[in-house]
Amino acid sequence: MTHILVTNDDGVSAPGLLALAFEMQKVGEVTVLAPDRNWSASGHVKTMHRPLRVKEVQLVDGLSAYASDGAPSDCVALALLGLTGEKFDLVVSGINPNANIGHDVTYSGTVTAAMEAVIGGVPGVAVSLDAPENHLGVLDYGAAARFARKIVETLLSQGFPEKTIININVPYLPEGEIKGVQITRQGLRLYRDRLDRREDPRGRPYYWIGGDAPTGVQEDGTDFGAIKAGYVSVTPLRLDLTAYQVLESLDLWEW
Ligand code: MN
C-alpha cells in the first residue's frame, strides 16, 4: 500500500491540510506531520542550531497527526529520516490557500516541503489554491483536494518522473467550472512590494515589506496563464537551477 506523508506550511490546524489528508486517505495510508504554526513564505529551511520537538495531536475530524516546531522541510526530513519508523512512498504538501507560481516557489514553504522530499529520494507534490488575497470567511478546498487526488493517482499509475517536484495550482472556481488540467512551465510573477517605514512608540523606525498582492504575466503554457484561464496547473520542477543557456558562453570567456 502506498504510504503518503501529508504536510503543509500553514500549520497542522489549517483546513487545507485536513482536506488534503482526507482525499489522500483514498489513495493510500496517510501520516500527517506538519508544523505547529504558520511557516508561509519561509523558504527552504533546515533547522540546525536548536533541537526539534514533535508532539502527537488530534485534528478536528479525529485524525491523529504529528506537530513539530520545525519548518515544513524539517517535518519532511524528520519523517523521511525515520521519526515514526515508517517508510514513505510519497510526500504531498498543502493545500496552501494561495497560489505558488513563478518565483513564489523559492519563498513557498508548501513547495520547499516537496523539494525536501525529492532531496530525500521520495516524490514530492505541492498543492496550492488560487484563492483571492482578500477572501473573507471559510475557503472551500474540496475541488482542489479532489483534483490533487486525481493527479496523484495518475502519477502513481504512470510512475513519478525522477528527481521532479510536481507543483499543482488550482483556480478558485466551483468544481464544475474548472476546465481541466494543463501541464505548464513556470510563469512570471509580478511582485508589487513596497517598503513601509513606521515608528514605534519610542520613536525608533521599524519596517514592513508591504504593498499589494502580486499579479503575474498571463502567458499561455505557464502556471499563471493556466489558472487564470480556469485550468488546474501542473508544473514539473527540478532542483537543478543551473542556467544551461549561459553555461557554454560563460565557459568561452577568459577567466
Ligand atoms: Mn502557506
Domains of the chain, residue spans: 3-188+218-251
pTM attached to this predicted model = 0.96
Neighbours of ion ligand 1 (CB under 5 A): 9-10, 40, 96
pLDDT at residue number 6: 98
143 within 8 A of 128, measured Cβ to Cβ: no
What is the Å distance from ligand 1's center to 160 Cα? Answer: 25
Q: What is the per-residue pLDDT for 134?
A: 82
Determine the distance separating the centroid of ligand 1 and the alpha carbon of 128, expressed in angstroms: 9
CATH classification number, 3-188+218-251, choose in 3.40.1210.10, 3.40.50.1000, 3.40.1160.10, 3.40.50.20? 3.40.1210.10
C-alpha cell at 12: 497542522
131: Cβ contacts below 8 Å, ≥ 6 apart: 97, 98, 139, 172
110-160 pLDDT, tens digit each: 999 999 999 999 999 999 999 998 888 899 999 999 999 999 999 999 999
Instruction: Measure 244 CA to ligand 1 centroid, in angstroms.
Output: 31
Give distance in angstroms: CA of 167 to centre of ligand 1. 14
Confidence at residue 62, expressed as pLDDT on a 0 to 100 scale: 87
Which tens digit of pLDDT belongs to each residue from 45-76? 999 999 999 999 999 888 999 999 999 999 99
